[in-house]
Amino acid sequence: MPRFRTRRRQLVVGTDLQAMLAFILDGKTAALSREHPEPAQPDPARGFVRVRTRSAGICNTDLELVRGYMGFNGVLGHEFVGEALDGRFSGKRVVGGINFGCGSCVSCNSGMARHCPTRTVLGILGADGVLAEQFLIPERNLLVVPDDVSDATAVFTEPVAAACEILDQLPVDFPRGPALVLGDGKLGPLIAQVLAANDFSVLLVGRHTDTLSWIRDSGVAIADTIPATASYDLVVEATGSPEGLTAAIAATRPRGALVLKTTVAGAHEVDLAPIVINEITVIGSRCGRFAPALDLLASGRVNVTPLVAAEYSLDAIEDGFAHAMTRGVRKVLVRND
């Protein structure tokens, strides 16, 4: 179990920057610092702006980072809604893409900065994240939040965008038939609703479905186990476990599509022979476009309110992080008052 501690008070030496609260991962120790320097005034030529965090979500990826995934060191967090402090969006509520591309490579020029070979990633790879009072982000990554979308809803834009990415990766003529989503934790219920909103017949299977009766209103069926003889055109694995992956392979029909949607610290040992025998198409799926996600949230076609387990203030984030690590807990939000 990762250790949590509050760092001793430190001076911000050699700078006139003000200190701020920030939740920092140093190796495998996550700690609330009360003396982390605020971001410096950004250089407009570099395209970065400062954003004040309003609300942030604790994602399963954050938990895996603390367990050693990616070897990250720095301020954690990548799910946010905030207020832009600089640039053309100054004073507006914003959400934003988490990948910081170089802006000039083939991937960036084709609108795929999330696959830029030299990218950094907000709170995950080489860039401080949002579990702090302020952070830096490229202005081109930002999207203004409509006035009628609350902070508690907008903060889900990033994981809903990740769910929407599945639709972008499937062939245009992929049949809108039976779909299975394995995993009813932080991401699975969002994926299930996104697929249902796009005409799939969705079954969500997990271990804590007793708290998900409300999701039937979004057109999603729920179950504790996969039907014994079922076979699905589309299976999305969102458990992050070897057992879940084995079950997902078995439930995918011959020449169906299997989408892998979770990232974990550690290795899987899984028999891959059925993938070859049944000619299953395996799709790795990560980040997605924010505009479709924000549209789904604004329209109410994806309901996120019942997924919020608790909300903590930033100065109590250690308690919030421990809560998020509890088995069966879905989304824990962190509020910057």
For every residue of 215-277, DSSP letters joined together read GGGGTEEEESS--TT--EEEEEE-S-SHHHHHHHHHHEEEEEEEEE----SS------HHHHH
The per-residue pLDDT for 11 is 46
Instruction: For residue 225, report the phi and psi dihedrals to the nearest 5 degrees.
Output: -140, 160
Confidence of residue 7 (pLDDT cuts 50, 70, 90): very low
Question: Could you give the CA distance from residue 127 to residue 315 in angstroms, rounded to a whole number?
Answer: 21
Report which of residues 65 and 11 the model is more confident about: 65
Report which of residues 142 and 241 the model is more confident about: 142
- The tokens for 203 are 């079954």
The per-residue pLDDT for 178 is 95
- Residue found under tokens 């990250």: 72
Q: What is the Cα 17 distance to its own chain's centre? A: 30
C-alpha to C-alpha distances, 122 to 80, 100, 128, 137, 214, nearest whole angstrom: 11, 8, 6, 8, 32
- Segments of the chain assigned to CATH 3.40.50.720: 162-284
Please compute the mean of the pLDDT values over residues 57-70 and round it to a whole number: 91
At 140, the amino acid letter reads R
- The answer to whether the beta carbons of residues 186 and 331 sit under 8 Å apart is yes
Question: Could you give the CA distance from residue 117 to residue 105 in angstroms, rounded to a whole number?
Answer: 8
Pick the CATH number of 3-156+304-335 from 3.40.50.10420, 3.90.650.10, 1.10.8.60, 3.90.180.10: 3.90.180.10
- The answer to whether the beta carbons of residues 263 and 64 sit under 8 Å apart is yes
Whether the per-residue pLDDT at 181 is higher than 50: the answer is yes
Please compute the mean of the pLDDT values over residues 153-168 and round it to a whole number: 97
Angle of the 157-169 helix axis to the 188-197 helix axis, nearest 10 = 50
Chain mean pLDDT for the chain:
91
In 3D, which of 212, 211, 215, 260 has the Cα closest to residue 234?
A: 260
Please compute the mean of the pLDDT values over residues 135-162 and round it to a whole number: 97
Residues 298-310 have pLDDT tens digits of: 999 999 999 999 9
The per-residue pLDDT for 9 is 39
Give the bridge partners for 229, in sequence order: none
In 3D, which of 83, 84, 78, 111 has the Cα closest to residue 97?
A: 78
Confidence of residue 265 (pLDDT cuts 50, 70, 90): low
Confidence of residue 189 (pLDDT cuts 50, 70, 90): very high
The per-residue pLDDT for 264 is 61
Whether the per-residue pLDDT at 232 is higher than 60: the answer is yes
C-alpha to C-alpha distances, 169 to 176, 282, 322, 325, 332, nearest whole angstrom: 14, 11, 34, 30, 29
- Segments of the chain assigned to CATH 3.90.180.10: 3-156+304-335
The per-residue pLDDT for 230 is 85
The per-residue pLDDT for 82 is 98
The per-residue pLDDT for 328 is 85
Question: Could you give the CA distance from residue 124 to residue 77 in angstroms, rounded to a whole number?
Answer: 8
At 323, the amino acid letter reads H
Please compute the mean of the pLDDT values over residues 195-201 and round it to a whole number: 97
Pick the CATH number of 162-284 from 3.40.50.1820, 3.40.630.30, 3.40.50.720, 3.30.70.890: 3.40.50.720
- The tokens for 17 are 């920057």
